[in-house]
Structure 1
């Protein structure tokens, strides 16, 4: 058995929340959106990341990230969570160039600005990078290389699976009353699936009598078989129980057996990338991405808004449809409905756990199989505790 690495206060106390915003979300690469949502000129996604309003927009065919705040009065330049609209403030019409510099001001004479002032005005920008179809933003003025945050195997999976994504995405977001770390620990905790999701996810998986997931036996993968692009991927094993934890080892990748049988929509797809399997990427600090048979994909992000509270963002999409098959919004709705049911099963228990931690002096024991959760907690204390930050 393992003693937990984190005290209850890390999940409930405002002091820890403020440290997280600065030392984790203000420093690491954060998922901001999918390129499918940003494919056309002036398409955008507007997010709050690390307490900062962030705008990612397609400008001149290039993705750029800015603080979603007009230089005039701080009004959000884009009010909707996503859409297509020029880079113009909706409040007083100030317009910006692709690089964030000021392009024009309606009724310019009433502001009494000199030319030098106009030329100095620009939006605050942030570092942005794409990994396949995944868009990441870093709020730090000196961002660390993304290869220091994520292993090359994880980055390779994101790149190689992206060409299979269909362009249409179903997206929703909602609030939950529990800490973001509980959600990340939950996706690392494979053992909970057969108990919490006994009627939803667990029946799709193949679980051994020992309680572990069965190894994949499918020979239909386009990604992981010998001769395929990811044949040499090393999936995450149990984390070591002691020693310093590297940041790139906090994120995890796994793959397990999922017996395949064709469903009513299977014939609509081009050949999926991973039939007979379920793979998942637990992307620290707050993203869970995975595939069911390579036919459908889920993407979850849990953005902290306060101690013990998150905004939960959920995307689902399918693999590419055959050439003459029209978009299938009803299929996306059905997949997303099933995905939300699984999320809700977790949310009921994580909300109860959050309430329990509020009055707790300590947390109970952890099993050896929860070494990955323990490693995440050790990394957290390395970075945020007074001893670790010294």
Structure 2
């Protein structure tokens, strides 16, 4: 038995939320989207992180990230959530080059800006890292290397599975009335499957005598079989040591036994990439990525907007289709609809738990299988209460020197 690390205040109070925005979401690499959404010149997506409007745009084949605000009056350059449009302010027509530098001003003379002043005008940019098809943005002026946030195993997995993604993606978002950490803790907790998802997810899985999920085989998996690029990836059954946890220990990869049942759309796919298994990447601070049999993939992100409110972002897509098979929007809709049903089973409980935490002075006890949740709690408290937050990021490692 373990005592919970975080008090209820970490889930309910504005002060803790403000520190999270500064020291976690303002410092770490955050998922922005997928390259499938940014294939063509001038394709863009717009996100909001920690109250910061962020624009990610395909500029001549290079992905760039900017504050979504014109250098003139701060008007968003792109109004829609996604689309294809040049970097032109819709308010007064100021335009920008792919690197964010001011390109031109209609009715230039009325502004009274000399050439030197114009040369100094540009969009505020942010660091971008693409790992396979996954696009990450960092809002810090001095971003840490992404290899200090994520393990080699996780980065390798994201790169190796990406070439197998179909180009078509279904994307949706909704608002939840609970703290974002409840989502991330929940994806670490396999023990809730048999109780919360009794009729949806649990019947698809295989459980052992102690109630834990079964171990899947690897020899039939193109992803993980011996000799494959991912053969040596380490899967977690619990979590890292609670007291000595490093930042890169907070993201873990899990793989569970899921007896293979051929689904109707398998015949449309180029191949089944991980039959008999369900793998899941819990990517700190707020992302969950995984696959069912390597036939379809899900990507979820929990973006905090208030201590008791979260934007839930969801992407689903399949493995590559066979040559000649047209896009299958009805299939993606069906997969997304089924996934939302599972998510809703969690959300009902998160809403109730959030209300209970608002009046709680303590949280109960935790089991030995919940070490990954307590490890995050230790890192969280140390990081958010330590004055030198940058050094704390790599406590126990010492590999990053600002």
> What TM-score do you get using the length of structure 1 for normalisation?
0.98
- Say whether residues 1:300 and 2:300 are aligned partners: yes
The superposition leaves residues 41-83 of structure 1 with CA deviations (integer Å, 9 ceiling, x where unpaired) of 0001100012211110000110000001111111111111111
Distance in 2, Cα, partners of 1:96 & 1:34:
24
1:94 aligns with 94
1:84 aligns with 84
* Contact 1:218-1:275 within 8 A present in 2 as well: no
1:277 aligns with 277
Deviation at 1:110, TM superposition (A): 1.4
1:212 aligns with 212
- Say whether residues 1:346 and 2:349 are aligned partners: no
Deviation at 1:305, TM superposition (A): 0.5
* Contact 2:37-2:43 within 8 A present in 1 as well: yes
1:159 aligns with 159
2:397 aligns with none
Distance in 2, Cα, partners of 1:175 & 1:103:
37
Deviation at 1:114, TM superposition (A): 1.1
* Contact 2:44-2:57 within 8 A present in 1 as well: yes
SS of residue paired to 1:265: helix
* Contact 1:95-1:103 within 8 A present in 2 as well: yes
Superposition pairs of residues 65-80 of structure 1, within 5 angstroms = 65-80=65-80
Distance in 2, Cα, partners of 1:342 & 1:315:
14
2:290 aligns with 290
Distance in 2, Cα, partners of 1:180 & 1:140:
21
Superposition pairs of residues 171-320 of structure 1, within 5 angstroms = 171-217=171-217, 219-240=219-240, 242-320=242-320
The superposition leaves residues 198-232 of structure 1 with CA deviations (integer Å, 9 ceiling, x where unpaired) of 11111111111311011002532111110111101
Deviation at 1:239, TM superposition (A): 2.6
The superposition leaves residues 267-318 of structure 1 with CA deviations (integer Å, 9 ceiling, x where unpaired) of 0000122111100000000000000000000000010001111111000000
Distance in 1, Cα, partners of 2:387 & 2:35:
40
- Say whether residues 1:118 and 2:118 are aligned partners: yes
Distance in 2, Cα, partners of 1:157 & 1:71:
39
Q: Which moved more, 1:84-93 or 1:214-223?
A: 214-223
Deviation at 1:130, TM superposition (A): 0.5
Q: Which moved more, 1:238-247 or 1:325-334?
A: 238-247
Distance in 2, Cα, partners of 1:137 & 1:148:
15
Distance in 1, Cα, partners of 2:22 & 2:377:
17
* Contact 1:164-1:320 within 8 A present in 2 as well: yes
Deviation at 1:92, TM superposition (A): 1.0
Distance in 2, Cα, partners of 1:257 & 1:168:
27
* Contact 1:241-1:374 within 8 A present in 2 as well: no
Deviation at 1:238, TM superposition (A): 2.4
1:146 aligns with 146
| Unmatched tracts of structure 1, length 5 or more | none
Distance in 1, Cα, partners of 2:241 & 2:202:
28
The superposition leaves residues 4-48 of structure 1 with CA deviations (integer Å, 9 ceiling, x where unpaired) of 010000000000011000000010000001000001000011000
Q: CA RMSD in A?
A: 1.2
SS of residue paired to 1:53: strand
Distance in 1, Cα, partners of 2:41 & 2:105:
22
> What TM-score do you get using the length of structure 2 for normalisation?
0.95
Deviation at 1:194, TM superposition (A): 1.0
Deviation at 1:385, TM superposition (A): 2.0
SS of residue paired to 1:229: coil
* Contact 1:53-1:68 within 8 A present in 2 as well: yes
Distance in 1, Cα, partners of 2:274 & 2:117:
56
1:28 aligns with 28
Deviation at 1:241, TM superposition (A): 5.1
2:45 aligns with 45
Distance in 2, Cα, partners of 1:110 & 1:33:
39
1:324 aligns with 324
Deviation at 1:111, TM superposition (A): 1.1
* Contact 2:242-2:372 within 8 A present in 1 as well: no
* Contact 2:180-2:310 within 8 A present in 1 as well: yes
Distance in 1, Cα, partners of 2:295 & 2:46:
28
